Homo-oligomer: A and B are copies of this chain.
Amino acid sequence: MEAVGVVVEYNPFHNGHAYHLRAAKQTSGANIVIAVMSGSFLQRGEPAFASKWTRAEMALRAGADIVFELPYQFAVQQADTFAAGAVSILEAARCKSLCFGSESGDISKFHHAAVFFSQHEEEYQASIRQFLEKGNSYPKAASLAAQKLQKNEDTLDLSQPNNILGYQYVNSIIKQNASIKPLTIKRKNADYHDQSFTSDDIASATSIRKALFADEGTIEDISPFVPQSTYKLMLFYQKTYGIFHHWELYWPLLQYRLLHLKAHELSTIYEMEEGLENRFLAAALKADSFHHFMTLIKTKRYTWTRLQRACVHILTNSSKEDMKGHEKADYLRLLGMTENGRSYLNKYKNDLGLPLVSRISANQSAGLALDIKASRVYALATGLMNKKAFISQDFTQSPIIL
C-alpha cells in the first residue's frame, strides 16, 4: 500500500477534482489517495459552502481514501503557511508523493524555482520590499520581484495561482526536509478564475459557486459539473440546514463584533496591521452588506483575499498569539476514510508522524480548540433547525467511514 497526497478545499467537489484524484494515482503509482482539506473556513478568507464533514464525504465518494482536516492555523493563511501545514500532515501520514495541479504541469520548473529563490533569497526579499514600497500588495510584489530576477530564463510563471501554491509545496518539502516527492499534473480546461462555464462537464469551483449563489440558482444548474454523489450530498445538505454558507450570512455577526470591539481589542486579532483597525471600525458603521464592507476597506496595499482572511479571524476571534509561528501541524484530524483508507491507517498506525485524532476529548491542543471554535461560529449561519447539533458536531461526529 502506497499513498499519494493532495491538498484541497473542495468548495464544492467537482468533476475536475475527480479527474485530479485519478491522475494523482496514475502519475504516482499509488493505490491510496490522502486528501488534506481546509475545514470550515478557506484560504481565500471565506466560509466553505458546506461543512467539512459533507465535503469530506464528497471526496470519499469520488476517489479519496482518507481526508484529514487542515487546521485553521494553516488553512486561513497566506500560501506559504498553508502549504507548510499541508505538507507536514501528508509527510506525517507517510505519503510517498504529493500531487498538485498547476498551470505549468512541469515539475522540474518548480524544483528550479525553489532552488533559484533559496540561492537568491536576499536579492529576492530586497526586490519584494521595493515593490511593496511602491504600494503593491504582497502577492503582486512577490510576483513582480520573481519576474525581475528570473527575466532571462524559461522559468515558472509565478503570476498563476496554482503555480504559486505548487511552488510553496515544493519549497515546504525542501525546508521541512520531508521525504515526500512532489508531482504535478497540468490542470484540465477550467481556469482557476473562470467566472462562467466553458466546458460541458468541467467547470471551476468559482463558476460553480457563482451559479449556485445566483439569485435563481439551484443545485440542478450545476449538476453537469459535479459527480452524482456530490449532487446528492448537496441536496441533502440543503434539506438539513436550509442553506449553503457564504459571507453575507455571517455579516450580521461580523458587524456586531466590529460595533462592540474597541480598536485596541481589534488590534490583537491576526492580520490586523496597524491602522487597519480604525478603517474596519469606521466601515462597519456604514456598510449595508459584507460586500459593501469589503469595498469600503479595500486598498491597493492589501489584496481582497488578505482582507477577507482578516475578517474571518475577527469573526472567529483568532488572535495573533493563536495564529503565529506555526511551522508544522501537530495532529492528524481524521474527517473520514474508505475501507481502503482504514486498512492503510491500520498498517501505518505505529509509524505516523503525528497523533491521530478521530474523537475529540475535553482537553484539546490549542490548534484543535481553534478548529472547534471556527466550526461553532460556522454553524451559526444556519437557521434554528438542527443548529444545536451542528454547533457541537466536532464532539459528536465520528469520522465518516465508507
- Residues in A lying within 8 Å of B, measured CB to CB: 252-253, 255-257, 259-262, 265, 285-286, 288, 315-317, 373, 376-377, 380, 384, 388, 391-392
Contact = CB atoms under 8 A, between A and B. Distances in A.
29 contacts: A252-B252, A252-B253, A252-B380, A253-B253, A253-B256, A255-B380, A256-B256, A256-B377, A256-B380, A257-B257, A259-B373, A259-B376, A259-B377, A259-B380, A259-B391, A260-B315, A260-B316, A260-B317, A260-B376, A260-B377, A261-B317, A262-B317, A265-B317, A285-B388, A285-B391, A285-B392, A286-B388, A288-B384, A288-B388
A256 B285 CA distance: 20
A373 B260 contact: yes
A388 B255 CA distance: 11
Contacts of A255: 380
A373 B262 CA distance: 10
Contacts of A373: 259-260
Nearest to A391: B285
Chain A, interface SS category: helix
Nearest to A317: B260
A320 to B, nearest CB: 14
A344 to B, nearest CB: 34
A189 B400 CA distance: 64
A321 to B, nearest CB: 11
A249 to B, nearest CB: 11
Contacts of A316: 260
A256 B316 CA distance: 9
A205 B224 CA distance: 60
Contacts of A259: 373, 376-377, 380, 391
Please indicate which of the listed interface residues A265, A315, A376 has the most CB atoms of chain B within 10 Å of its own CB.
A376
A150 to B, nearest CB: 44
